[in-house]
Amino acid sequence: MKNIKQIQLGQNGPLVSKLGLGCMRMSSIWGGPMPDETESIATIHEALDSRINFLNTGDFYGAGHNEMLIGKAIKSRRDDAFISVKFGAIFHNGHPIGMDFRPVAIKNFINYSLTRLGIETIDLYQPCRMDGSVPVEDIIGTVADLVKEGKVRHIGVSEITANQLREANSIYPISALEIGYSLAERQIEIDLLPAAKELNIAIVAFANTAEGLLTGEMKTPLSENAYQNHFSRFQGENLVRNLEKVEVLKQLASDKGYTPTQLAIAWVKEQGDLFMPLVSMSRRSRLPENITAMDIVFTPEEMNTLNTTFAVGAIVGGTYLQR
């Protein structure tokens, strides 16, 4: 299995793998079944063996289960792993009920995370969103205090606006922006992405397949219990029109000998040195195909076809990423 290239987080930040491992699906999601823990830990170990060292979690994933799982996996391999943790979301019985970004709450969250992970310092700590309930300066300032205390190494942010990003970076250097980004989700190119590039902030891009739309496996209508049914992008004529766009991706993938998912990941990777595709996995069998995606290259004609087909606004309807 090939090793993964590295990127730098922020102006003078650390080097990490250009492919990130999203660990969310290693815990129960929205009250769903619990994945096999042994397989999840084996997946983390194999990822580390392949030099995928960026492990992403949230203190609210599985009500803390995700952090404890990662803690078990890295117990004897702390130096091999770069741990990224989001905080701030409050869940009850597997469902979100609000946010809490008060300084006193952040100071509480960090101690629980460190205990569950079994480590002394979190490599990248970030609010999961800025909801306006607490000033940006108070949130980032509190995390900056945690850096001084030695509990955090670098500060990241997630799902924020361009103005909030600039404000956060003026308070303390921001190393990474975690945000949904894909061929089908390009709204950040309007103002947030230019701001991040100007500030030399790395883009940790999740939802590379746009909630399954770009896998090439989605068909209309969706099954009644599919969570995507909640979003207008996957309803009625919107889904029909969107899947017509995906046919272009499927054909290109077939011509190149890859899967649509691999091309979707590769497109994110090809956006530049600041970009890291963050791919959720809970099984070792997914690793080879996702690692292979990092070696895919496109001709100028192929890239033009994708960028034209999936231009900003080409995919109709909203998802949870539009808030």
Q: Check the CA dihedral 71-72-73-75 and report its sign.
A: positive
Rounded CA separation 66/117 (Å): 9
CA distance 287 to 292: 8
- 36 vs 58: CA distance, rounded Å: 19
Identify the H or E element spanning 124.
strand 122-127
Dihedral sign from CA coordinates of 212, 216, 220, 223:
negative
C-beta separation of 181 from 253 below 8 A:
no
Active-site residue, 227 included: no
What residues are paired with 87 via a beta bridge?
127
Asked if 83 and 119 count as a contact pair (C-beta separation under 8 A), the reply is yes
Distance between CA atoms of 158 and 204, rounded to whole angstroms? 9
The active-site residue out of 61, 125, 227, 258 is: 61
Catalytic residue IDs: 61
